[in-house]
């Protein structure tokens, strides 16, 4: 089974972390997120992954020089310009010559779904497309799905106004599609699968959904990306675990590391306190700093205090600075 992995988005909500690194290359539990996604797909029987991208293909090629990720062969479909989700699927499927049932996955969703269950359900229901669904408390930020008793999708509403949702089941970002879906997508322009293709399939009664209650996380915003990292540390993932401090990190004396990750090559000074935070590879934290609920890829000066902050790889926090809910540098508009 082949899978198209959508990794061509700009990751604007995670800026400044994504100024230089595409979102799927950011680490979760010390490994690039894309590796976790591909490893999970492989467990469910995916044998080849087509990376659908356009924005910054170089970091992917550099990270996987043998064109193998988590033991799975990779091919690349590089869009000349961003085609949005459905446009990207059509472009990638045509480039890769996909002509049988295939899987599509959003590159920023981490989950414990056994994709072979979704494929099985898809085949049994005779669907043209099958969505993985998960239940959330606040569905309005997602594609909200209402199901009939047989699992067919009655309604698909992308990001409905809060309070108007008729269901707490949302599009969880993994799909099984027949090649006929590709023919539904107009060529050569931006097309959103959520706003155009799925609603059209609902009208034709060919879209189905399967809800599961295993681990699921959309990592697109800083607090959720942070949580995804801490979830690996806390043992909330079925097949994943990690240590708090990566092997190549350097940590000074009298450091308190409370519910936090210190990434590869990060440097932590003396008497630092880290709480509910993630230091990304290459982060540098000076002596006596206190960092809470923050993500740091750049440099934090001596005695600085950070709370709910995101510091990009070129971000510098001055010594003794006190920052709350700040992003450094300011996200590029
Ligand atoms: P934001 O800018 O923060 O919304 O993040 P994003 O760019 O990743 O967008 P979003 O989370 O809505 O995208 C969902 C998935 O589709 C992500 O895995 C993106 O990488 C991917 N994606 C979005 N637009 C495109 C596109 O035009 N081409 C490709 N290949 N992938 C896309």
Write down all domains in the chain, each with its CATH number in brackets: 2-221 (3.90.550.10), 250-328 (2.160.10.10)
Q: Quickly count: other Cβ atoms within 10 Å of residue 330's Cβ.
A: 11
Output the pLDDT for position 57: 84
Residue 105 Cβ inside 6 Å of ligand 1? The answer reads no
Residue 134 Cβ inside 6 Å of ligand 1? The answer reads no
Residue of 254, 87, 267 whose CA lies nearest to 181:
87
pLDDT in tens, 232-280: 999 999 999 999 999 999 999 999 999 999 999 999 999 999 999 999 9
- Which residue is closest in CA terms to ligand 1's atom 15? 106
Is residue 188 a contact partner of residue 93, using CB atoms and an 8 Å limit?
no
Output the pLDDT for position 55: 66
Does an H or E element contain 299, and which? Answer: strand 299-300
Report the C-alpha gap between 305 and 166 in whole angstroms. Answer: 43
DSSP reduced 3-state for 320: coil
Is residue 174 a contact partner of residue 193, using CB atoms and an 8 Å limit?
no
- Which residue is closest in CA terms to ligand 1's atom 28? 8
Ligand 1 atom nearest to CA at 13: 3
CA 309 to chain centre: 20
Is residue 89 a contact partner of residue 185, using CB atoms and an 8 Å limit?
yes
Report the C-alpha gap between 291 and 301 in whole angstroms. Answer: 11
The neighbouring-strand residues paired with 275 are 258, 292
Is residue 171 a contact partner of residue 145, using CB atoms and an 8 Å limit?
yes
Report the C-alpha gap between 332 and 262 in whole angstroms. Answer: 26
Residue 171 Cβ inside 6 Å of ligand 1? The answer reads no
Is residue 225 a contact partner of residue 183, using CB atoms and an 8 Å limit?
no
Q: How far is the CA of 21 from the centre of ligand 1 (A)?
A: 14
Output the pLDDT for position 32: 96
Kindly give the parts of the chain with pLDDT less than 50.
none
Please state the pTM of the whole predicted model. 0.95
Q: How far is the CA of 146 from the centre of ligand 1 (A)?
A: 24
Q: How far is the CA of 130 from the centre of ligand 1 (A)?
A: 20
Residue 53 Cβ inside 6 Å of ligand 1? The answer reads yes
Report the C-alpha gap between 43 and 238 in whole angstroms. Answer: 12
Report the C-alpha gap between 158 and 155 in whole angstroms. Answer: 10
- Structural tokens at position 194: 């959520």
Residue 165 Cβ inside 6 Å of ligand 1? The answer reads no
Residue 7 Cβ inside 6 Å of ligand 1? The answer reads yes
- Which residue is closest in CA terms to ligand 1's atom 5? 11
Is residue 180 a contact partner of residue 159, using CB atoms and an 8 Å limit?
no
Is residue 102 a contact partner of residue 1, using CB atoms and an 8 Å limit?
yes
Q: Which of 9, 51, 90, 221 to mutate to test the pocket of ligand 1 (most atoms within 8 A of CB)?
A: 9
Name residues whose C-beta falls within 8 Å of residue 229's C-beta, 6 or more positions apart in sequence: 27, 28, 29, 261, 278
Report the C-alpha gap between 166 and 130 in whole angstroms. Answer: 20
DSSP state of 283: -
DSSP reduced 3-state for 32: strand
Residue of 80, 77, 65 whose CA lies nearest to 7:
77
C-alpha distances out from residue 37 to 62, 74, 103, 106, 146, Å: 18, 13, 13, 9, 26
Beta strand 143-147 pairing with 153-158: antiparallel
């Amino acid at each position: 089974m082949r899978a198209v992995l959508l990794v061509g988005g700009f990751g604007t909500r995670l800026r400044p972390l994504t100024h230089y690194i595409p979102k799927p290359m950011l680490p979760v539990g010390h490994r690039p997120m894309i590796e976790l996604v591909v490893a999970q797909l492989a467990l469910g029987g995916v044998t080849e992954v087509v990376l659908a991208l356009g924005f910054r293909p170089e970091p992917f090629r550099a990270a996987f020089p043998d064109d193998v990720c988590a033991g799975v062969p990779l091919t690349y479909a590089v869009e000349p310009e961003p085609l949005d989700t459905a446009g990207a699927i059509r472009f990638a499927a045509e480039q890769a010559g996909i002509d049988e049932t295939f899987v599509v996955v959003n590159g920023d969703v981490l989950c414990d779904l056994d994709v072979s269950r979704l494929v099985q359900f898809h085949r049994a229901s005779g669907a043209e497309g099958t969505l993985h669904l998960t239940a959330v408390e606040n569905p309005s930020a997602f594609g909200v799905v209402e199901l009939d008793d047989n699992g067919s999708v009655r309604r698909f509403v992308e990001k409905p106004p809060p309070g108007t949702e008729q269901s707490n089941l949302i599009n969880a970002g993994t799909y099984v599609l027949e090649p006929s879906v590709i023919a539904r997508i107009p060529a050569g322009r931006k097309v959103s699968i959520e706003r155009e293709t799925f609603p059209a399939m609902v009208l034709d009664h060919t879209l189905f959904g399967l809800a599961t209650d295993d681990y699921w996380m959309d990592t697109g915003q800083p607090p959720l990306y942070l949580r995804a990292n801490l979830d690996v540390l806390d043992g909330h993932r079925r097949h994943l675990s990690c240590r708090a401090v990566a092997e190549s990190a350097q940590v000074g004396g009298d450091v308190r590391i409370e519910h936090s990750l210190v990434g590869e090559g990060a440097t932590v000074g003396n008497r630092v306190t880290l709480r509910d935070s993630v230091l990304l590879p290459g982060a540098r934290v000076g002596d006596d700093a206190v960092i809470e609920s923050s993500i740091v890829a750049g440099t934090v000066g001596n005695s600085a205090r950070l709370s709910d902050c995101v510091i990009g790889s070129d971000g510098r926090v001055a010594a003794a600075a006190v920052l709350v809910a700040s992003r450094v540098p300011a996200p590029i508009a």
